[in-house]
Structure 1
Amino acid sequence: MSPRALVIGGSLGGLLAANTLKTIGWRVDVFERSPHALDSRGGGIVLQPDVLHAFHFAGIRPAGALGVASRDRIYLDRAGDVVRRDHQPQTQTSWNMLHGTMRRALPDACIHPGETLERIEQAGGQVRAVFASGRVETGDLLIGADGARSTVRSLMLPDVRPDYSGYVAWRGLVPEGELDAASRAVLDGVFAFQHDEGEQMLLEYLVPGEDGATAPGQRRWNWVWYRKVPQDSLPALLTDRTGRTHTFSLPPGALPDAQAAVLRADARELLAPQFNALVQKTKEPFVQAILDLAVPRMVFGRVLLLGDAAFVPRPHTAGGAAKAAANALALAQALQRTDQPIEARLKDWEGLQLRAGRNLVDWGRRMGDGIMGVRRAAGYTGSPAGTPDL
């Protein structure tokens, strides 16, 4: 019988792992703690070659374009004037475009929502996953692809946790036709920035519509506004309209009206008119704390960590989805080989992925701290003690 992988986490990393392993003949089952279909709260993503390579390997053939192309990068001052323009073509996609494309490539029977992992047991080259529902599943490999709040990581490395960077990302999506004509004339077809030295940065680009449409008029404006927030102010910022305090982010629809009013007032005062118009038109802005995370290990017998469960780079690297894709593709290629026992192949995979993950996190930390003017205490590493996404 074909070997079986238990994938914990049904977001991008989990679906990348499931699709690439299915391609090499593994049986895969994906267990997601949310009982509902995952939504597009992640917003926009810069489409990187690693994602395309993983799609090609897995035989995923999108029906149409995977994103929206931009030609130039422009920089606006507070008055809304273009103060710099660089020709830098790229493609922007969205969380829901990538997720939907990968989800459709998997049979419904292998997706299991509403399953919360409680513990992991290993013996004799097998791994057992025990879920809160009472469900028990056994496989040849368990992949923790359950994000920055990874349960798998907490079981394997209980002392390793994400570290707050000192700033947050406010985000929003606006249907293309809802923006005024003057703003559209400046922002259409470009990747736009406003950067106030050491204080804030806002960026904007077009992404596919909620249904994946990439035709003009059917797309969405995606914006991200980075702002400093002291750590002791985070709990209040991340408290939703029901009074519940979240750990890392508030999803769309959770922001209290009073917080949304402050955000819009600040946008009127601080942002270029085009960016202010986007913030004002956003019905459900959301916010994410910017984190650093780097693990010292990714493999624990037949259990491994992948994507944001192992490394969380700053979004300025545009490397979050790309990192998960590279992890998943390299894992499938390692498991395809037959020259070594599986444990040796996993060890080789781990060494390469650890090095790449650390480099990406370090690069993102340097870039983000420089952009935002964040100063660190001497000896700061940005990673939990004991350890070595635009």
Structure 2
Amino acid sequence: MNAIDKRALVIGGSLAGLFAGTLLRSIGWQVDIYERSPHNLDSRGGGIVLQPDVVEAFQRAGIIYEAPLGVVAHERYYLNRDGSIAQPMPMRQTLTSWNLLYGSMRRHFPVEHYHQGKHLTEIQQDGLAVAAMFADGTHETGDLLVGADGPTSIIRHLLLPDYTTQYAGYVAYRGLVDESELDPATAKLLTERFVFYQFSNSHILQYVIPGENDSLIPGERRFNWVWYVNYNQTSELPDILTVFIGQRREYSIAPGMIHPTVEQAMRSYADRVLAPPFQKLVAATREPFVQAILDLGVPQMAFDRIALIGDAAFIPRPHTAASTAKAAANAIALVDALVDSNHDVPKALEAWEGNQLALGMRLWESGEALGERSQFMYGEGRTEG
């Protein structure tokens, strides 16, 4: 049977699912992506440090893009408490956005094969094929099913019900600020640099990313910031993850949805503890958002004709800057294994799994070490300034 006769079902239509879908199509597979959300996803997320695996995935999938795929930062600055520069470091990196990567892949993937509002309820396989059943009563059958449905993966829950995400003890506040909305002196310090401010049990960082409509034109880009803050899981986290209409979210609150009391407390805390350039950056942010930092690792990623990839399998803490790259690496290795095994799915997944488990575990352990050093060097609490 030729590759063109093979069909893949990809569950999850965010970055990991699109990496898998576009790369599988590049080796001749028929692919359908099923996304649980009925809404477009192009309004979520902030900045991403561009890694080589993502560039390789774009190239191999034949996705046309304007080079570079983001904004180039030429150096890193570490700030003192008064906002002066403590330590400059030459370091060239490209910083991109979730929206740019998602939009580029989404436009490349055939719209008729990207299905929204598809909530998976059950999976079955018999050695010859794998089937997916959805809440709307429909079902689909293929040769391969890719579980790319993120931290709350239904695929993982069905296959490995004992493995769930664990709260790491802190959250990431995030925000985006248009270049034109920051005062000139602060903008000059932060533009095209990776800037950090570290203090007891916390740190904040920022870099410039593409702006509206993926613009890379100076003056039209955005400052992207991330601030890690400790909160107790029992006494504090439930309030942080409650949206302004009073509903509790599992692990993140979207822009514009943070409860006003939580947002005001965050802004007041920023004024007390952050270096002045970051105080100004947070103050200029119209709609901050927040996500709980999670840990997740699994002992198995291949299940006959089913593969778990991306955050459905391992969630490295964001300090590694590797979550998106890991999803791309999982997908690249998957298509390589399929080609090497002449598209024999069980054989390919068996060959694929070992290195991907090792990659996930290495990033998981590295991220945990970085996070523990950053957030808990002086106990579990927060610096009050």
Report the AA paired with residue 225 of structure 1. Answer: W
**Counterpart in 2 of 1:230?**
232
Q: Which runs of 5+ in 1 are unaligned?
A: 378-390
- In 2, Cα distance between the equivalents of 1:104 and 1:226? 33
Q: Which runs of 5+ in 2 are unaligned?
A: 381-385
Contact 1:96–1:210, Cα closer than 8 Å, also in 2: no
**Counterpart in 2 of 1:174?**
177
Worse overlay, 24-33 or 246-255: 246-255
Query: Shift in Å at residue 42 of structure 1?
Result: 2.0
Which runs of structure 2 are paired with 1:131-210 in the superposition (5 Å)? 131-197=134-200, 199-210=201-212
SS in 2 for 1:312: coil
Query: Shift in Å at residue 78 of structure 1?
Result: 1.9
- In 1, Cα distance between the equivalents of 2:132 and 2:343? 26
Which runs of structure 2 are paired with 1:21-60 in the superposition (5 Å)? 21-60=24-63
Report the AA paired with residue 311 of structure 1. Answer: F
Which runs of structure 2 are paired with 1:300-379 in the superposition (5 Å)? 300-338=303-341, 341-373=344-376
Contact 1:369–1:375, Cα closer than 8 Å, also in 2: no
Which runs of structure 2 are paired with 1:198-277 in the superposition (5 Å)? 199-232=201-234, 233-277=236-280
- In 1, Cα distance between the equivalents of 2:270 and 2:180? 21
Residues 97-142 of structure 1 deviation map (CA, whole Å, 9 limit, x = unaligned): 0000111111111100011000001124111110001111111111
Structure 1 residues 145 and 98: alpha-carbon distance in aligned structure 2, compared to 1, 3 A threshold: same
Query: Shift in Å at residue 237 of structure 1?
Result: 1.0
Residues 163-210 of structure 1 deviation map (CA, whole Å, 9 limit, x = unaligned): 11111100000111100011012111210000003x210000000013
Structure 1 residues 89 and 63: alpha-carbon distance in aligned structure 2, compared to 1, 3 A threshold: closer
Contact 2:318–2:367, Cα closer than 8 Å, also in 1: yes
- In 1, Cα distance between the equivalents of 2:377 and 2:168? 8
- In 2, Cα distance between the equivalents of 1:124 and 1:168? 42
- In 2, Cα distance between the equivalents of 1:303 and 1:339? 17
Sequence identity of aligned pairs in percent? 49
Per the normalisation by structure 2, the TM-score is 0.95
Structure 1 residues 208 and 234: alpha-carbon distance in aligned structure 2, compared to 1, 3 A threshold: same
**Counterpart in 2 of 1:7?**
10
Contact 2:176–2:223, Cα closer than 8 Å, also in 1: yes
Report the AA paired with residue 209 of structure 1. Answer: G
Per the normalisation by structure 1, the TM-score is 0.94
**Counterpart in 2 of 1:130?**
133
SS in 2 for 1:362: helix
**Counterpart in 1 of 2:383?**
none
Contact 2:127–2:304, Cα closer than 8 Å, also in 1: no
Contact 2:127–2:305, Cα closer than 8 Å, also in 1: no
**Counterpart in 1 of 2:75?**
72
Query: Shift in Å at residue 229 of structure 1?
Result: 0.7
Query: Shift in Å at residue 374 of structure 1?
Result: 5.5
Report the AA paired with residue 234 of structure 1. Answer: L
Report the AA paired with residue 11 of structure 2. Answer: I
User: Over the residues paired in the alignment, what is the CA RMSD in angstroms?
Assistant: 1.5
- In 1, Cα distance between the equivalents of 2:46 and 2:259? 20
Residues 288-328 of structure 1 deviation map (CA, whole Å, 9 limit, x = unaligned): 11111100100112111000000000100000000000000
Report the AA paired with residue 241 of structure 2. Answer: L
Query: Shift in Å at residue 236 of structure 1?
Result: 1.4
Report the AA paired with residue 21 of structure 1. Answer: L
SS in 1 for 2:17: helix
Structure 1 residues 373 and 124: alpha-carbon distance in aligned structure 2, compared to 1, 3 A threshold: closer
**Counterpart in 2 of 1:381?**
none
Note if 1:289 corresponds to 2:296: no
- In 1, Cα distance between the equivalents of 2:220 and 2:189? 18
Worse overlay, 321-330 or 260-269: 260-269
- In 1, Cα distance between the equivalents of 2:43 and 2:272? 29
- In 2, Cα distance between the equivalents of 1:374 and 1:344? 45
- In 2, Cα distance between the equivalents of 1:30 and 1:309? 15
- In 1, Cα distance between the equivalents of 2:273 and 2:114? 45
- In 1, Cα distance between the equivalents of 2:231 and 2:213? 34
Report the AA paired with residue 232 of structure 2. Answer: P
Report the AA paired with residue 283 of structure 2. Answer: Q
Contact 1:166–1:374, Cα closer than 8 Å, also in 2: no
Report the AA paired with residue 41 of structure 2. Answer: L
Contact 2:72–2:92, Cα closer than 8 Å, also in 1: yes
**Counterpart in 1 of 2:98?**
95
SS in 1 for 2:360: helix
Worse overlay, 22-31 or 364-373: 364-373
- In 2, Cα distance between the equivalents of 1:299 and 1:338? 15
Query: Shift in Å at residue 376 of structure 1?
Result: 9.7
Contact 1:145–1:309, Cα closer than 8 Å, also in 2: yes
Query: Shift in Å at residue 341 of structure 1?
Result: 3.8
Note if 1:120 corresponds to 2:123: yes
SS in 2 for 1:112: strand
